[in-house]
Amino acid sequence: MQFIDMFAGIGGFRTGLENAGHTCVGYIEIDKFARQSYEAIYDTRGEFTAYDIQKVQGGELPSAKIWTFGSPCQDISIAGKGLGIVKGKRSSMFFEVIRLLKERIENKKTLPTYLIMENVKNLLSSNRGWDFTRVLFEMGKVGYDAEWSVLDSAQVVPQHRERIYIVGHLRTASSRKVFPIEGQNTATFEGSKVETVGHYGEKRHQSSIVYDPIGTSPTLSATDYKHPVKVAVKQVGQLWKGGSFGGNPQRGRVYSTAGASPTLGTMQGGGLEPKIVVKPCLTPDRIKKRQNGRRFKNNDDPSFTITVEDRNGVMIANKGEIAIRKLTPLECWRLQGFSDEQFYKAKQAGVSDSQLYKQAGNAVTTKVVEAIGRKLYEVNKY
């Protein structure tokens, strides 16, 4: 099916749906750096595009079976100011999508069969649940019945990231349900428990709790670029393209230690190679920063959610000494399901590391969208 990618960012929805066999016919994104990455990654020739959704008219959009959107969540997120979807300037962009649908109805234009909306889990409880009720009400007024589910990215990538996905079904289209996604609520990603194993720093409060992760990162966010993420992820690779740095193939090498991936600097023989234990940690340079009271994680745990503000990294215990490194922008992109090729296209287009961090935190996890896209394909075969 054809789809329009609204609030496109770097194309988390697009990558997921294209991987599931669907086709993008248009995209809307106002951030110039996100557009820079988006247009470097995808072949957008001949597609409809616009910068500001507030200046788009419903009648000018191309026909498409699916509209995707994840309107800005800052006014709904627990980390935000709690203004909600109505009063919040950014989160109220949801109503622009409703406006476009109303304009298509008025102009007797074809409506999409499906609306796919993504937002933070807190949408369910924002303003005591009235924000979520308003979303369902507004979809209903323009002819859509909604189903929804909270999906955790840890089921498909090594990142704990709970998000609500709402699928609106056009009543006149008699479409079949999408949820539950096959495998939902099962251990598709091994190990999701969280256990305290120690503390970081002197203060024994929730911001300094030490956890022990294997293979999973915290939730990424869009403000991570301010304080680069410090947590472990499960991956093996090379930080520098080409496999070496300064002529030394050992430098920049990413190793896998029972699922965690520290970057090891090597000694020159004599048994001096570091012997390490790796734990993912969250913004260790900011003692008061934590997610749900956690600073570190256990082996086999999903990582913290990648956010805009937090920074994830790796705590390395080396013969009693502790060292920490940040996740690279490439690792953050991987945690959202983007390929290395996509990352390097954006990087080579001149996008800065700070923006690459931010873009990863703002993105939708591509693998989750792909699962939804494949289910859409299945239910439309009949």
Please tell me which residue in 24, 73, 281, 332 is annotated as part of the active site.
Answer: 73
What are residue 373's DSSP bridge partners?
none
Task: Considering only the C-alpha atoms of the chain, give the largest distance between any 2 of them, rounded to a whole number of Å.
Answer: 77
Query: What is the dihedral angle through the alpha carbons of 264, 342, 71, 352, rounded to the nearest 10 degrees?
Result: 60
Rounded distance, CA 330 to CA 367, Å? Answer: 16
Contact 43, 37 (CB under 8 A): no
Three-state secondary-structure class, residue 246: coil
What are residue 323's DSSP bridge partners?
316
- Specify the length of the chain in residues: 382
Q: Which tokens hold the place of 100? A: 């476009």
Phi-psi region of 46 (alpha: psi -120 to 50; beta: other; left: phi over 0): left
Nearest alpha-carbon partner for 333 in 258, 265, 255, 233: 233
* Whether 73 is catalytic: yes
Rounded distance, CA 279 to CA 62, Å? Answer: 48
Q: What angle, rounded to 10 degrees, do the helices at 32-41 and 353-362 form?
A: 80
> Using alpha carbons only, what angle is made at residue 117 by residues 112 and 119, rounded to the nearest 5 degrees?
170
Rounded distance, CA 90 to CA 100, Å? Answer: 17
Nearest alpha-carbon partner for 357 in 325, 324, 313, 311: 311
- Per-residue 3-state assignment (H helix, E strand, C coil) for 9-42: CCCHHHHHHHHCCCEEEEEECCCHHHHHHHHHHC
Rounded distance, CA 369 to CA 259, Å? Answer: 25
**Which residues are tagged catalytic?**
73
